[in-house]
A and B are shown apart, each in its own frame.
Chain A
């Protein structure tokens, strides 16, 4: 991975425990999570594909048979933090996930996939 694709998000001490925050990058919104109970960091798109709400960073973290997940606050669709797949509704699209790294208490998100098209990007198909 190109080192230029890492963006600085915030300090580890700014983060809530077992919860998320939203990071602004240009016009994009990225949800960053500190899963304290597992001592793991994750990042995903902030947009919930269900009703297109900017809300995942305010969602609740948890696990399903060991798979870490976030639950959208609106209608509780849950998404794997590892691969972005919706875990409780097959008809719901997946979300994008981004690598995260912690360096000397600073958090960085890798936005490479944000710059290249991703297969799970919801395409808006409007009738012509």
Chain B
């Protein structure tokens, strides 16, 4: 059977994949592509500007075609089809015969007839070639205009921003943005969101002329107003590529497109059309999922299957990071039988509308702007005609109901979950039950679900969990596939079994070979339990890279050096040493937010040399790389400050020296303020101490970071010794019971009973373990040694700080710095 495919775009390629999988004997498959690249992922085209390469975007490498016997002819478009003789002729002039012909010619950008569209600096947004042209021009452009405020136009506008063009405008002819997907209310909210991003929108503007001599200088609208610009991207819709089919005498829809029936056949039974060039029942589908479905239908036709095309759900979601816009079902209906419920929060910029049947039982469609978390769920309810809650408004307003919990809504087994790959709910459940796929990655590999646009990922995960639960499998809080225990359980067992290395723990309690999740988690437990040197040969490689080389890895592969400066107090002599060392090794220096000095840009090979000099001057490791105690900040306190109640610096130095080197589930920070004015910001720390008339107030579980949280008062007016004892207990209790990578604030938030419970344990010793906790802490404190000192003094350890094992003196030649003010910085990646 000789099959010719015209067009090697997304749909044409999917067709080849599906056809080849049928393993039809005697199949001769020839594909003509007009573009010079093999089919690539147009849906993610914009990511090309964000660093994706052509290779990344290609759907299959060239080798795939050869391996599967597909004769791929790129850069050679078909120019004639002689249906009577069943042959095609290509641009290069060769003639090929077919038994079946498949048009997959896609569409081109629709360019309205505006005078001046041929000027320099005017582009469309469809192919990699287009993007290359845009890229080149963007280098000299300061402003850009996109004509078309639809899905694609907005994506193009965002791409202009990503290219560094700060003045970006969108011009839309209709009275609102995304006129085919959302209503006026949604458009208003969207306009505000775009404004915040830096995109200015102009609605109801009809472009009359493109201004400029050779190169565009601006647009003039029919209302006489002018918008200056250095470049223009036209994204006003698509136009099916039907010119070749038309020439071959095939019927064309009145708005373009090759007319097909439910079998995707044209008027000629041996000629099919699929993807964006086809019109089915008057509709052209400008999305990839229906195109894939059409490809599947034709494969069925050719291999004896029965599948037909019966239209496709056109629900869509805009894929701009930070801007949620989605519409599903019929977003606009307003007839007698329909009621609309609208939720509009101008303050947060959220607009939601759902259309429900007048009896309140069915969801017919809707619009989500500003918060589209419920999109997957609502779309599924709509498509599958599921019964909705008594108060339909719960679907969009009840807090906590916003998740895509597909389990709650018992979707039918046939519900289409991943429309890109056509995966149904049943297939996901089967993968879990029959093939033992228990993780998202496993299911993705097995079924393909979630490998397209990724939008269905949360739903797939919910279905996996729900299926596991149904099978009686508990979804446990285990750390990874290698250990069926939580961190707290591991902590206790490792201690009881007296295990000291990762491999010993793995062999005794785990399976497999460990991974980047359990290795550092267990290394942290081992360090907290025994305080052994983290870079011993058996342990080093199970530490996170930062711990393995006792420094934070930076962009480009250099490291930072942060010597400990307890309490932020430093002598002039030590300052001079830091300056001298930084100068000698050409390091960028900066005062950190933690009252110390960070030296950036050190080559791996130089680390021991740098530390040797610092240690000789009395410095120690600052553990800036470890999940360990970082800094104890201080304010100047009573020694100098006229308000100071106690000597906060001395106490901070004491506290920092006591807990330095202490490894924990996450980093820990502290501060001591000399009075309630709180200049050391102690209430934002994991534990913070503030001087009172009578002693110290101890606060715990504060956090800066992305979710700031104030620390809570644990004990008031206590003396220094009591304060230290409470901190000992608090920290040790945290180390024993917290999950990996959980800061004290999150740990407390999850703790039943909250701060009262914690106070009972720490202050009132409700668990009767206070003495034990204190003793454990004392052991760790007694075990402390500066790991950098150990590393520079031990030749065996020192040897490890080289880039090339076979050229120890050579530094990584690929490291590049750029000048920055009087210093340097890492080159951009």
Q: Given A17-B541, A22-B805, A63-B515, does the pair A119, B503 have CB atoms closer than 8 Å?
A: no
A interface footprint on B475-518 (CB within 8 Å = 1, 0 otherwise):
00000011000000000000000000011001000001111101
What residues on B are CB-neighbors of A78 within 8 Å?
A: 515-516
**Which chain B residues in 682-708 approach chain A with CB under 8 Å?**
none
Does any Cβ of A come within 8 Å of B557's Cβ?
yes
- Number of A positions contacting B (CB below 8 A): 54
Name the residue on A nearest B517 (C-beta): A62
Name the residue on A nearest B62 (C-beta): A119
Report which of A19, A23, A62, A74 forms a contact with B553, defined as CB distance below 8 A: A74
Does any Cβ of B come within 8 Å of A114's Cβ?
no
Q: Given A51-B829, A64-B481, A119-B61, does the pair A18, B515 have CB atoms closer than 8 Å?
A: no
B503-A18 in contact (CB<8A)? yes
A62-B53 in contact (CB<8A)? no
CA distance A55 to B555 in the complex (A): 10
CA distance A16 to B805 in the complex (A): 11
What residues on A are CB-neighbors of B132 within 8 Å?
A: 127-128
B136-A127 in contact (CB<8A)? yes
B829-A76 in contact (CB<8A)? no
A17-B512 in contact (CB<8A)? no
What residues on B are CB-neighbors of A36 within 8 Å?
A: 503
**Which chain A residues in 41-95 approach chain B with CB under 8 Å?**
51-55, 58-66, 68-69, 71, 73-74, 76, 78, 87-88, 90-93
Question: Closest CB of chain B to A39's CB: distance in Å?
Answer: 11
B805-A123 in contact (CB<8A)? no
CA distance A35 to B553 in the complex (A): 23
B512-A16 in contact (CB<8A)? no
B513-A35 in contact (CB<8A)? yes
Q: Given A38-B513, A52-B829, does the pair A16, B540 have CB atoms closer than 8 Å?
A: yes
What residues on A are CB-neighbors of B442 within 8 Å?
A: 65
Name the residue on B nearest A34 (C-beta): B541
Does any Cβ of A come within 8 Å of B99's Cβ?
no
Does any Cβ of B come within 8 Å of A32's Cβ?
yes
What residues on A are CB-neighbors of B557 within 8 Å?
A: 53-55
**B-side interface size class:** 35 or more
What residues on A are CB-neighbors of B61 within 8 Å?
A: 119
A24-B52 in contact (CB<8A)? no
B53-A16 in contact (CB<8A)? no
CA distance A51 to B814 in the complex (A): 13
CA distance A93 to B52 in the complex (A): 10
Q: Given A10-B805, A53-B557, A93-B56, does the pair A73, B829 have CB atoms closer than 8 Å?
A: no
What residues on B are CB-neighbors of A66 within 8 Å?
A: 512
B136-A63 in contact (CB<8A)? no
Question: Closest CB of chain B to A117's CB: distance in Å?
Answer: 11
Q: Given A19-B541, A60-B519, A65-B442, does the pair A37, B806 have CB atoms closer than 8 Å?
A: no
Report which of A52, A54, A87 forms a contact with B812, defined as CB distance below 8 A: A54
Question: Closest CB of chain B to A124's CB: distance in Å?
Answer: 7
Q: Please choose the segment from B543-551, B584-592, B635-643, B651-659 that sits at the chain A interface, where 4 or more of its residues have CB less than 8 A away.
A: B543-551
Does any Cβ of B come within 8 Å of A2's Cβ?
no
Does any Cβ of A come within 8 Å of B556's Cβ?
yes
Report which of A9, A61, A65, A123 forms a contact with B806, defined as CB distance below 8 A: A9
CA distance A18 to B61 in the complex (A): 33
B513-A93 in contact (CB<8A)? no
A16-B553 in contact (CB<8A)? no
B805-A69 in contact (CB<8A)? no
What residues on B are CB-neighbors of A119 within 8 Å?
A: 61, 63
A24-B513 in contact (CB<8A)? no
A37-B804 in contact (CB<8A)? no
A23-B806 in contact (CB<8A)? yes
Does any Cβ of B come within 8 Å of A122's Cβ?
yes
B805-A37 in contact (CB<8A)? no
What residues on B are CB-neighbors of A60 within 8 Å?
A: 515-516, 519-520, 541-542, 544-545
What residues on B are CB-neighbors of A65 within 8 Å?
A: 442, 481, 512
Does any Cβ of B come within 8 Å of A21's Cβ?
yes
Of B441, B537, B805, B807, most buried by chain A (CB within 10 Å of CB) is B805
B549-A24 in contact (CB<8A)? no
A interface footprint on B529-547 (CB within 8 Å = 1, 0 otherwise):
0000000011011101110
CA distance A88 to B444 in the complex (A): 11
A59-B514 in contact (CB<8A)? no
A interface footprint on B780-821 (CB within 8 Å = 1, 0 otherwise):
000000000000000000001001111100101111000000
Name the residue on A nearest B804 (C-beta): A24
What residues on B are CB-neighbors of A9 within 8 Å?
A: 805-806
A58-B55 in contact (CB<8A)? no
Of A18, A76, A91, A92, most buried by chain B (CB within 10 Å of CB) is A18
Report which of B44, B53, B441, B482 forms a contact with A122, defined as CB distance below 8 A: B53
**Which chain B residues in 440-481 approach chain A with CB under 8 Å?**
441-442, 451, 481
Name the residue on B nearest A55 (C-beta): B557
CA distance A61 to B61 in the complex (A): 28
A interface footprint on B119-161 (CB within 8 Å = 1, 0 otherwise):
0000000000001110110000000000000000000000000
Name the residue on A nearest B441 (C-beta): A88
Question: Closest CB of chain B to A88's CB: distance in Å?
Answer: 7
What residues on A are CB-neighbors of B813 within 8 Å?
A: 27
A18-B803 in contact (CB<8A)? no
What residues on B are CB-neighbors of A14 within 8 Å?
A: 805
Q: Given A16-B537, A54-B812, A63-B514, does the pair A73, B545 have CB atoms closer than 8 Å?
A: yes
What residues on B are CB-neighbors of A124 within 8 Å?
A: 53
Name the residue on A nearest B814 (C-beta): A54
Q: Given A10-B805, A22-B803, A53-B557, does the pair A63, B541 have CB atoms closer than 8 Å?
A: no
CA distance A15 to B799 in the complex (A): 11
Does any Cβ of A come within 8 Å of B27's Cβ?
no
What residues on B are CB-neighbors of A71 within 8 Å?
A: 515-516
Does any Cβ of A come within 8 Å of B54's Cβ?
yes
A123-B55 in contact (CB<8A)? yes
What residues on B are CB-neighbors of A21 within 8 Å?
A: 804-805
A interface footprint on B732-776 (CB within 8 Å = 1, 0 otherwise):
000000000000000000000000000000000000000000000
CA distance A36 to B556 in the complex (A): 29
B515-A37 in contact (CB<8A)? no
Question: Closest CB of chain A to B106's CB: distance in Å?
Answer: 21
CA distance A79 to B61 in the complex (A): 19
B807-A16 in contact (CB<8A)? no
Report which of A19, A64, A91 forms a contact with B515, defined as CB distance below 8 A: A64
Question: Closest CB of chain B to A72's CB: distance in Å?
Answer: 9
Question: Closest CB of chain B to A82's CB: distance in Å?
Answer: 13
Q: Given A60-B519, A122-B53, does the pair A29, B814 have CB atoms closer than 8 Å?
A: yes
CA distance A64 to B813 in the complex (A): 33
What residues on B are CB-neighbors of A128 within 8 Å?
A: 132, 136
Name the residue on B nearest A33 (C-beta): B541
What residues on B are CB-neighbors of A55 within 8 Å?
A: 553, 557
Question: Closest CB of chain B to A120's CB: distance in Å?
Answer: 8
Question: Closest CB of chain B to A106's CB: distance in Å?
Answer: 12
What residues on A are CB-neighbors of B803 within 8 Å?
A: 22
CA distance A53 to B257 in the complex (A): 47
Question: Closest CB of chain B to A28's CB: distance in Å?
Answer: 11
Question: Closest CB of chain A to B511's CB: distance in Å?
Answer: 9
Name the residue on A nearest B503 (C-beta): A37
B516-A76 in contact (CB<8A)? yes
Question: Closest CB of chain B to A22's CB: distance in Å?
Answer: 5
Question: Closest CB of chain B to A77's CB: distance in Å?
Answer: 10
Residues of A in contact with B (beta carbons under 8 Å apart): 8-10, 14-19, 21-24, 27, 29, 32, 35-38, 51-55, 58-66, 68-69, 71, 73-74, 76, 78, 87-88, 90-93, 119, 122-125, 127-128
Could you write out 18 A-B pairs with CB less than 8 Å apart?
A22-B805, A23-B804, A29-B814, A35-B513, A36-B503, A54-B815, A59-B516, A60-B520, A60-B541, A62-B512, A63-B513, A64-B515, A88-B441, A91-B47, A91-B56, A93-B55, A119-B63, A125-B53
Shortest 7 CB-CB distances between A and B: which pairs? A19-B541, A62-B515, A73-B545, A71-B516, A127-B132, A63-B513, A21-B805
8 extra A-B contacts, CB within 8 A, seeds A29-B804, A59-B516, A122-B55: A17-B538, A18-B541, A24-B807, A60-B515, A68-B513, A91-B44, A93-B56, A123-B54
